[in-house]
């Protein structure tokens, strides 16, 4: 009984996703259309990156890197800002989910090693927002961007011109958010000595580069995934045991849920009528219920106003925890690092995300 309770608490989002997927399966019975729901490339890239990150954790790579950051920044506030910027810039080049998988552990090690664990939910949520908003500037920064960019054949400079001002506002808001952190001097609370393993680190970083090449389709995702799993199985099979496979399953269930939602006729009719009134607002609101990528795919069938659709599905990544599936990565990592405190995390997540969503919506409405 205790195991069941612990399982439910640890995998609450997975259970919710499974229930939602199951309910919609009764409304939309399984058929050939289900094959188009699941983005196996995304799942493969996610799994590959998780494997590499777990291997890097096992050789204390993030701990050593975190200590270098601690020694090179004058205080907690500047350190937090650096971590947010790293995540923000990372999402610009390697997409939001990969940026979070890479840089959330780094943020945790910094706080843990300096005795500042109480700031973990604040930092994680800000890193989550930074990842979701950082990729908005470029066509390849977020999956929904690439889809809309291709579907409407938007010129690259026009695309970047549309997203430039909300991008700059996001930078300003994230920068201002660190003012609430103290300027206290950071000191290491643990004195353990960790040996840096340059050869093993270099090998794993090569695999991490391979996972990035999978994202950009330079390397076929199924080949890259097979190579990474086989190599880590030989080098450190215990890393594969540490992978959060329930996170992969959670993504899978949300793909089913979102796919079914997009095929329910009444929902399609309602969305079509709402888009005629205000594409920006209703595309952002749609993300809150079926996430930004499915919203972009679904809503693009009902409007030619790609400017407002593009803005809406990008800023709509803030808000609820399913507005962007990358937010599930943040929550999963938080649960891994901190026992309990889920209500506090959700309260902070909701507060900050609603503020960012509201400000960006108002700003984009007057552009």
**Domain annotation covers residue 2:** no
**Domain annotation covers residue 170:** yes
**Domain annotation covers residue 140:** yes
pLDDT of residue 267: 78
Cα–Cα dist 271/313, whole Å:
14
pLDDT at 360 over 90: yes
Domains in the chain, number: 1
Mean predicted confidence (pLDDT) in 181-185: 86
Q: What percent of the chain has pLDDT over 70?
A: 94
Q: In which domain, by residue range, is 141 found?
A: 38-184+193-365
Q: Per residue in 323-337, pLDDT tens?
A: 887 888 898 889 888
**Domain annotation covers residue 7:** no
**Domain annotation covers residue 12:** no
pLDDT at 95 over 80: no
Give the confidence band of 192 by pLDDT, cuts at 50, 70, 90: low
**Domain annotation covers residue 11:** no
pLDDT of residue 142: 76
Give the confidence band of 9 by pLDDT, cuts at 50, 70, 90: low
Average pLDDT, the chain: 85
**Domain annotation covers residue 117:** yes
Contact 54, 105 (CB under 8 A): no
Rg of the chain on CA atoms, in Å = 20
pTM (whole model) above 0.85: no
pLDDT of residue 356: 96
Cα–Cα dist 277/271, whole Å:
10
Cα–Cα dist 301/281, whole Å:
17
Helices and strands: H and E segment counts in the chain? 19, 0
Cα–Cα dist 245/298, whole Å:
28
Contact 109, 119 (CB under 8 A): no
**Domain annotation covers residue 220:** yes
Cα–Cα dist 153/67, whole Å:
45
Q: What percent of the chain has pLDDT over 90?
A: 30
């Amino acid at each position: 009984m205790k195991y069941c309770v612990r399982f439910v608490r640890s995998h609450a989002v997975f259970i919710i996703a499974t229930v939602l997927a199951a309910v919609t399966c009764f409304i939309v019975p399984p058929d050939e259309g289900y094959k188009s729901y699941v983005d196996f490339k995304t799942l493969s890239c996610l799994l590959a990156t998780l494997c590499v990150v777990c291997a890097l954790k096992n050789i204390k790579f993030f701990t050593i890197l975190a200590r270098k950051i601690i020694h090179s920044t004058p205080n907690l506030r500047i350190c937090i800002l650096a971590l947010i910027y790293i995540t923000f810039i990372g999402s610009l080049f390697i997409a939001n989910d990969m940026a979070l998988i890479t840089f959330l552990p780094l943020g945790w090690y910094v706080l843990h090693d300096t005795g500042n664990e109480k700031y973990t939910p604040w930092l994680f949520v800000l890193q989550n927002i930074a990842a979701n908003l950082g990729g908005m500037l470029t066509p390849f920064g977020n999956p929904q961007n690439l889809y809309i960019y291709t579907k409407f054949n938007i010129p690259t400079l026009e695309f970047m011109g549309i997203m430039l001002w909300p991008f700059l506002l996001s930078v300003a808001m994230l920068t201002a958010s660190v003012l609430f952190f103290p300027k206290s001097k950071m000191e290491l609370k643990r004195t353990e000595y960790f040996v840096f393993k340059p050869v093993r680190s270099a090998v794993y970083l090569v695999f991490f580069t391979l996972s990035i090449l999978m994202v950009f389709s330079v390397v076929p995702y199924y080949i890259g995934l097979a190579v990474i799993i086989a190599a880590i199985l030989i080098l450190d099979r215990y890393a594969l045991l540490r992978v959060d496979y329930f996170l992969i399953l959670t993504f899978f269930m949300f793909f089913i849920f979102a796919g079914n939602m997009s095929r329910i006729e009444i929902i399609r009719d309602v969305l079509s009528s709402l888009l005629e009134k205000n594409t920006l607002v209703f595309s952002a609101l749609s993300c809150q219920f079926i996430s930004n990528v499915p919203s972009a795919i679904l809503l693009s069938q009902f409007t030619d106003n790609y400017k407002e659709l593009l803005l809406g599905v990008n800023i709509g990544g803030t808000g609820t925890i399913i507005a962007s599936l990358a937010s599930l990565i943040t929550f999963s990592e938080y649960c891994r690092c901190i026992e309990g405190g889920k209500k506090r995390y959700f309260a902070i997540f909701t507060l900050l995300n609603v503020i960012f969503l509201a400000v960006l919506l108002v700003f984009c409405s007057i552009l």
